[in-house]
């Protein structure tokens, strides 16, 4: 339990703290004696969501297990902490309630990472809302994910249904019944609604819809594997009213279609285009393409722009990778893989493009491990994540080794080892959770949000394999990915055998 929780606690039948381990002072900057005799809600400088407090009180009153009560605490030394406690009720031999026994954990990094993710989502929502054309995104089950103000204003009288999770069929039926769209010639209202729903589920090019008072809309939809179905409406009313402007309107529609394709490409390529432009301009400034900058301080500014842009780009790519896998949108495509060729490619890109340090990765692939049938994209992503971590968390002069060895006749082991800072035992059991990072100050000083190992672990399981970690603080880390030599399209490959690790810290 010590690697999962930071302190232990007990309360009496009146929920007053009777014991709390000494480690709480190191973690929270508050003496254990400060908490004795008080309930958790009586701790000074505590703040928590009212809903969470209500649930916590209900658990205590009903003497149910406390699953995860999260609150903010300011230590006696002025330090701020997010804490999470769990516990189980205690009863004596006669069945009388005697209090709770439980554990606590400092979870500030997790809460802060979640806040960063929510901030990124708000930025995306604000960007979509700034579009002048009506825009909406529906998930793979045709439920509304987000829409902009222009889309909601198209149906101002039924705006109350524009809630996240509302099915497209419900929205469109309300729109037709309220007169926002006119059925196509020769169709009844029900036939028109059924036609539109089917067209939304299987997009196949732009089409026009007639609205009230002679208005027309050009509807463009596209289904994107990672996101769902994107819908954009363009107003064609003026084109329909003026036959003499048909050609011009046609060109406008084609331009709109190109704009749609550009926008959707940006979305499907994980919003990388704007950031790539920023990074590219930073490179131009560095090279002084159009002449000397004129002030040496701008050199420092451009370097910060480039570094920040690349960092944000990495975060966006990683977050969307995680979303793609968690949503089940990552489709496995088995194919014959030349493993040495793929490994060399990933190592080169990771060294040069990501870290500017060629030659650090040492590759050793056994002769009987040169080929396998698997998904190249997934293996490429796993190798990239593991090599990135190895290079990031070790000194520039130390090598990172990548070895591939057979494990029986049906599996092989891919190991990435570094001589870096290592992972503390208390962090190992959570290090493959999304947004989990080691609590060491050297780890927190590095870029990243703690998703590389999480994504690698998920992808390993998608490939019917497993990921394990062997690490010693101050000595280095070895991550082993055990994979079947062949996976089929039915995904019923035998599970990877258990792997024994020799180090003191392994999962």
SS (H, E, C) 106-163: ECHHHHHHHHHHHHHHHHHHHHHHCCCCCEEEECCCCEEEEECHHHHHCCHHHHHHCC
Q: Is the pLDDT of residue 1 over 70?
A: no
The pLDDT value recorded for residue 500 is 35
Q: Regarding predicted confidence, which is higher, 501 or 31? A: 31
Q: Is the pLDDT of residue 89 over 90?
A: yes
438 touches 469 (CB < 8 A): no
Taking residues 399-409, what's their average pLDDT? 93
pLDDT category at 353 given cuts 50, 70, 90 is low
The pLDDT value recorded for residue 356 is 60
Q: Is the pLDDT of residue 128 over 60?
A: yes
The pLDDT value recorded for residue 135 is 83
Alpha helices in 220-245 (DSSP H): 237-241
The pLDDT value recorded for residue 487 is 87
The pLDDT value recorded for residue 449 is 62
* CA dist list (Å): 5 to 9, 42, 119, 334, 428: 11, 22, 28, 40, 12
The pLDDT value recorded for residue 416 is 95
Is pTM beyond 0.85 here? no
Q: Please state, rounded to an integer, the average pLDDT across all residues of the chain.
A: 80
The pLDDT value recorded for residue 291 is 73
Residues in Cβ contact with 171 at an 8 Å cutoff, skipping those fewer than 6 apart: 144, 155, 158, 161, 162
Taking residues 257-271, what's their average pLDDT? 46
Q: Is the pLDDT of residue 423 over 80?
A: yes
The pLDDT value recorded for residue 243 is 56
DSSP label at residue 361: E
The pLDDT value recorded for residue 327 is 62
pLDDT category at 193 given cuts 50, 70, 90 is very high
pLDDT category at 269 given cuts 50, 70, 90 is low
The pLDDT value recorded for residue 499 is 35
pLDDT category at 179 given cuts 50, 70, 90 is confident
pLDDT category at 406 given cuts 50, 70, 90 is very high
Closest CA to 317 of 286, 348, 285, 353: 353
Q: Is the pLDDT of residue 404 over 50?
A: yes
Q: Write the DSSP assignment of 22-71 as a string of letters.
A: THHHHHHSS-GGGTTT--GGGSTTEE--HHHHHHHHHHHHHT--EEEEEE
pLDDT category at 486 given cuts 50, 70, 90 is very high
The pLDDT value recorded for residue 496 is 42
Q: Is the pLDDT of residue 490 over 70?
A: no
CA dist 315 and 449 (Å) reads: 7
Please report the sign of the dihedral spanned by the C-alpha atoms of residue 389, residue 391, residue 392, residue 394: positive
Q: Is the pLDDT of residue 494 over 70?
A: no
CA dist 281 and 266 (Å) reads: 18
Percent of all residues in the chain with a pLDDT value above 70, rounded to a whole number: 78
Taking residues 333-344, what's their average pLDDT? 92
The pLDDT value recorded for residue 159 is 66
Taking residues 57-81, what's their average pLDDT? 89
Q: Regarding predicted confidence, which is higher, 433 or 221? A: 221
pLDDT category at 280 given cuts 50, 70, 90 is confident
Q: Is 68 left (phi over 0), alpha (psi -120 to 50) or beta?
A: beta
Taking residues 457-465, what's their average pLDDT? 91
CA dist 330 and 322 (Å) reads: 10
Q: Is the pLDDT of residue 47 over 60?
A: yes
CA dist 151 and 78 (Å) reads: 48
Q: Regarding predicted confidence, which is higher, 156 or 451? A: 451
The pLDDT value recorded for residue 476 is 92
Taking residues 245-267, what's their average pLDDT? 56
Tell me, rounded to whole angstroms, the distance of Cα 198 from its chain centroid: 31
pLDDT category at 265 given cuts 50, 70, 90 is very low
Q: Which burial class, exposed, middle or buried, applies to 41 when counting CB atoms under 10 A from its CB (0-12, 13-18, 19+)?
A: middle
Pairing relationship of beta strands 400-407 and 371-374 according to DSSP bridges: unpaired
The pLDDT value recorded for residue 307 is 67
Q: Regarding predicted confidence, which is higher, 259 or 307? A: 307
* CA dist list (Å): 245 to 167, 206, 258, 430: 37, 20, 20, 63
């Amino acid at each position: 339990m010590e690697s999962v929780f930071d302190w232990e606690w007990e309360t009496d039948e009146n929920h007053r703290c009777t014991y709390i381990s000494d480690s709480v002072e190191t973690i929270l900057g508050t003496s254990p004696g400060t908490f004795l005799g008080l309930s958790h809600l009586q701790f000074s400088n505590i703040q928590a969501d009212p809903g969470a407090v209500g649930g916590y009180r209900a658990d205590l009153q009903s003497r149910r297990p406390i699953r995860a009560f999260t609150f903010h605490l300011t230590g006696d030394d002025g330090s701020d902490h997010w804490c999470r406690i769990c516990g189980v009720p205690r009863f004596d031999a006669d069945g009388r309630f005697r209090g709770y026994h439980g554990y606590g954990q400092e979870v500030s990094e997790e809460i802060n990472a979640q806040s960063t993710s929510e901030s990124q989502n708000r930025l995306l929502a604000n960007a979509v809302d700034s579009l002048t054309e009506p825009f909406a995104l529906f998930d793979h089950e045709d439920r509304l994910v987000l829409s902009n103000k222009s889309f909601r204003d198209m149906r101002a009288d039924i705006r109350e249904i524009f809630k996240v999770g509302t099915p497209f069929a419900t929205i469109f039926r309300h729109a037709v019944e309220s007169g926002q769209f006119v059925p196509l010639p020769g169709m009844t209202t029900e036939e028109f609604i059924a036609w539109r729903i089917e067209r939304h589920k299987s997009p196949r090019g732009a089409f026009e819809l007639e609205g009230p008072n002679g208005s027309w809309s050009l509807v463009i939809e596209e289904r994107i594997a990672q996101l769902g179905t994107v819908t954009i409406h363009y107003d064609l009313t003026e084109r329909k009213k003026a036959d003499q402007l048909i050609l011009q309107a046609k060109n406008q529609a084609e331009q709109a279609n190109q704009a749609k394709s550009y926008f959707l490409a940006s979305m499907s390529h994980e919003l990388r285009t704007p950031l790539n432009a920023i990074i590219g301009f930073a490179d131009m400034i560095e090279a002084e393409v159009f002449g000397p900058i004129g002030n040496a301080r701008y050199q420092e500014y451009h370097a910060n722009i480039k570094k920040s842009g690349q960092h944000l780009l990495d975060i966006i790519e990683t977050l969307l990778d995680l979303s793609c896998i968690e949503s089940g949108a990552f489709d496995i495509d088995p194919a014959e893989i030349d493993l040495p060729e793929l490994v060399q490619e990933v190592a080169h890109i990771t060294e040069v493009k990501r870290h500017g340090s060629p030659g650090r990765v040492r590759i050793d692939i056994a002769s009987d491990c040169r080929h396998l049938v698997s998904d190249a994209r997934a293996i490429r992503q796993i190798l990239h994540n593991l090599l990135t971590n190895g290079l990031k968390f070790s000194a520039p002069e130390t090598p990172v080794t990548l070895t591939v060895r057979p494990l029986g006749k049906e599996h092989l082991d891919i190991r990435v080892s570094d001589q870096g800072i290592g992972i503390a035992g208390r962090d190992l059991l959570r290090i493959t959770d999304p947004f989990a990072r080691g609590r060491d100050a050297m780890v927190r000083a590095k870029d990243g949000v703690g998703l590389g190992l999480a994504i690698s672990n998920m992808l390993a399981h998608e490939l019917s394999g497993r990921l394990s970690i062997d690490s010693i603080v101050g000595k280095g880390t070895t991550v082993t990915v055990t994979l079947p030599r062949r996976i089929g399209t039915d995904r019923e490959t035998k599970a990877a055998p258990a792997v024994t690790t020799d180090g003191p810290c392994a999962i």
